Structure 1
Amino acid sequence: MIPDLETPFSRFPNTDHSAIERKDQSISAVITERQQQLNAVLQDVSGLESVMDKIKGLHRQLLEEKDKIIQSMNLHKGLVSALWRFPSELLSYIFVHCLPETEHLLPASKLAPMLLTRICRRWREVAARTSDLWCGVIVDVDDEDWQQAAFCYDSWLKRSQDRPLSLALRCFEDDATNLRTLLQPYMNRISSLQIVFVDPVTPELLLDDLPALQELTISTSYHMWRPTIAQSISRLPFTLRSLKVVGPSAFDFDRLSSFNPVWAHLTHVEIALEPFAHTNLQSLRISNASPLRMASLFPDLFNALTLPNLRVLEARYIRPWPHEELKAFLVRSGCPLESLIFGTRVMTTNEQRAEYIILVPSLEVVVDYMRGDYFGYRRLAQQYGIGRRRHVL
């Protein structure tokens, strides 16, 4: 109950100052009484807060007990479920299919494989022993907490056991030494390596001592190529089959092809659109997965290539078709092209196809039946005296 605190002196405005002066003792008594009342209320508040703290502590204990009961109940439910009785080998197989559909995995607690280690003790043990879950990872250097990051990456890579590794490295300035130190125990197991250079750095430390390397992708956003990089690539093992260079470059391909023994062993090459020739390439397939963004690149591609030994050229999903650039490519290359295959979404006219056959008499044009005009093509073939050429549908 709130006490009545009204007094004759608490009315405002109070202009009778003489009355107040005559009753100083009464006012002092009121102040003393209020102090006593305040002390009593503060004591009650303190006691109530103590009780509330005890209630909050009891509430917290009850919530913790509830969580433990639910956890125990779920555990025992799992013991009678078919999933709990799965052999570890089958569980490992399922875990592998939980991985994101990407070659390089992001170490994130809410994504597999890290997520699989947080479900229960058995899942964590099975996931940690499943080496296929830990064979690919994105390594993003963070100098602010490199020691902690290095420990996490090393723990990840150790779980891969003796499996081949596929790594994507994002390298800033002066990070190559840290990355080399981290990867040193695993260099002989790296089969696929992608390096993204964000700043102008020297990547030679990352391109040496890779005896099992099969695929190499180098991405840059600036002109950073120098002879030492070409030399590092030249020292890569003969196991290398795929080389990709993404981004602007001033790469000396003529020099590379002249002294690099690895060049002759490559079966897959993707490079920036700089003029270059490959004397041994016999088959080239071009497929555009991003028609809106990439269509403008194909004229430059044909302008950059010289393939004197090309025998099969296949194109799919390219619109608009770079007709004049292809003709210039055929003339420049002088290649003994045998098959020119137009697949899905490539629109060419009968006249254009006839021009290709005039340029390369050995050519056989293969077109999608739904896209091609067979009878119109035969008419043009006879008109140009090339009726002996077979039009494949």
Structure 2
Amino acid sequence: MDSVKNLCQQVVEKKEKIMQSMNLHKGLLSALWRLPTEVLSQIFNHCLPETKVWPPSTLRAPMLLTRICQRWREVAVGTPDLWCRIYVEADDRGWEQAAFCYDLWLKRSRGRPLSLELGYHYSTKLRSLLQPHMSRIKFLRVSIDCFRGRRPQLFATDLPALQELTILGMTNHDIPTIAQSISRLPSTMRSLFIDMGPFFDIEPLSSFGPVWAYLTDVQIAVCHPNAFLHLLQLCPNLSSLNVHVGFDQREPMESFMHTKLQSLCILHDPLLTRPLSDLFNALSLPNLRVLEARRNSCNASSWSHEDVKALLARLKWPLETLTIGGQVTNLTITDAQRAEYVSLIPSLKVVNHGSTYF
């Protein structure tokens, strides 16, 4: 009887612990359910991937959020901002399933501005699916490979709200056709990024038409020193430029002032490119705040302390940040060197970040 009583007492104690645990979890669950829909929507927004676009997947937000419970599904489906970014890729095989997924995703965005990337596998049926949403595309990233053999109509006059365009896989052969389409882009355009494939000269740059006047952010490669200056002339509102230079011509460079450029990143090969000092001597950038000069060669020697001093002594710009580097850089900044740099440009904020940044 004593043994039975002890067992009963143990069961009662276990039951009490289980009840306490259940009550605690009920309280937590109740608190979660009491969260307003607006708060839950904001939490869901922080669950999204950090990339601009991503392919639909049940393993990541927002689709994952619709599989947790009925309320989460209702909140996720009813939050249009969760469905405004998408990577689409589909060939003719399995088109029906892909089309259903993309169409449902886009409808859930409910008229919000869209960020869209077209993958390498591109079905001709995709255009008809996207057509009702063209006027909402704000960001577009495309690979030229998906348009091989047909005219790349997707970035043309039917994108009235486009602000940022990224083009991947472009070659010199593609320039005439692409330039024709880019020249018809709307005045809403602000950013144009062309991967560092073809090197542009003055004539191809000019063929892009009036779109240059709207741009504030550009990434491109140029093969001619005066083409670089011509690019700045075409972009009077440019505030940020990331440019790959590969020129070695020695003809004179006309001086040019650009009053709005604030950030300039130059990637160059010192074995093929004339000294950047020639370019800097021709430029006047009174509002430049950030300058980055990188060498695109493992065989090139890194920037020495004397190189940096000579560069800073030549620049008459109000720099705040200067980055000098390459694929191999062994530059280490001492306190004495840091003081010399600041003495040349008092506004410069010297930051020692590894062996590349200062």
TM-score where L is the length of structure 2:
0.67
State the match for 1:65 in structure 2. Answer: none
SS in structure 2 of the partner of residue 95 of structure 1 = helix
Shift of residue 352, structure 1, vs aligned partner: 4.8
Question: Does the 8 Å contact 1:350/1:376 carry over to 2?
Answer: no
* Pairing 1:183–2:130 present: yes
SS in structure 1 of the partner of residue 203 of structure 2 = helix
Residues 160-216 of structure 1, C-alpha deviations (whole Å, 9 max, x = no match): 0011000011144xx363221111010010000000233524343211300100000
State the match for 1:52 in structure 2. Answer: none
Q: Which has the higher contact order (CA 8 A, sep 6+)?
A: 2
Question: Does the 8 Å contact 1:316/1:344 carry over to 2?
Answer: yes
SS in structure 2 of the partner of residue 240 of structure 1 = coil
Alignment counterpart, residue 141 of structure 2, candidates 183, 194, 203: 194
Shift of residue 326, structure 1, vs aligned partner: 1.6
CA RMSD of aligned residues (A): 4.2
Give distance in 2, aligned partners of 1:137 and 1:157.
9
Give distance in 2, aligned partners of 1:115 and 1:163.
21
Cα separation, partners in 2 of 1:376 and 1:137, compared to 1, 3 Å: closer
SS in structure 2 of the partner of residue 83 of structure 1 = helix
Structure 1 regions of 5+ residues with no counterpart? 1-72, 288-296, 379-388
State the match for 1:48 in structure 2. Answer: none
Cα separation, partners in 2 of 1:274 and 1:166, compared to 1, 3 Å: farther
Shift of residue 356, structure 1, vs aligned partner: 6.1
Aligned ranges 1:25-104 → 2 under 5 Å:
77=26, 81-104=30-53
Alignment counterpart, residue 150 of structure 1, candidates 88, 92, 99: 99
Give distance in 2, aligned partners of 1:350 and 1:251.
32
Residues 81-125 of structure 1, C-alpha deviations (whole Å, 9 max, x = no match): 211121111111111111111110220111110100101111111
Cα separation, partners in 2 of 1:374 and 1:100, compared to 1, 3 Å: same
* Equivalent residue pairs, number: 294
TM-score where L is the length of structure 1:
0.62
Cα separation, partners in 2 of 1:183 and 1:316, compared to 1, 3 Å: closer
State the match for 1:236 in structure 2. Answer: 185
SS in structure 2 of the partner of residue 225 of structure 1 = helix
* Pairing 1:353–2:309 present: yes
SS in structure 1 of the partner of residue 94 of structure 2 = helix
Cα separation, partners in 2 of 1:246 and 1:377, compared to 1, 3 Å: closer
Question: Does the 8 Å contact 1:188/1:212 carry over to 2?
Answer: yes
Alignment counterpart, residue 207 of structure 1, candidates 155, 165, 173: 155
Cα separation, partners in 2 of 1:317 and 1:374, compared to 1, 3 Å: farther
Shift of residue 80, structure 1, vs aligned partner: 5.1
Which of the two has higher C-alpha Rg? Answer: 1
Question: Does the 8 Å contact 1:218/1:244 carry over to 2?
Answer: yes
Shift of residue 240, structure 1, vs aligned partner: 0.5
State the match for 1:162 in structure 2. Answer: 111
Identity of aligned residues (%): 42
State the match for 1:114 in structure 2. Answer: 63
Letter of the 1:330 counterpart? F
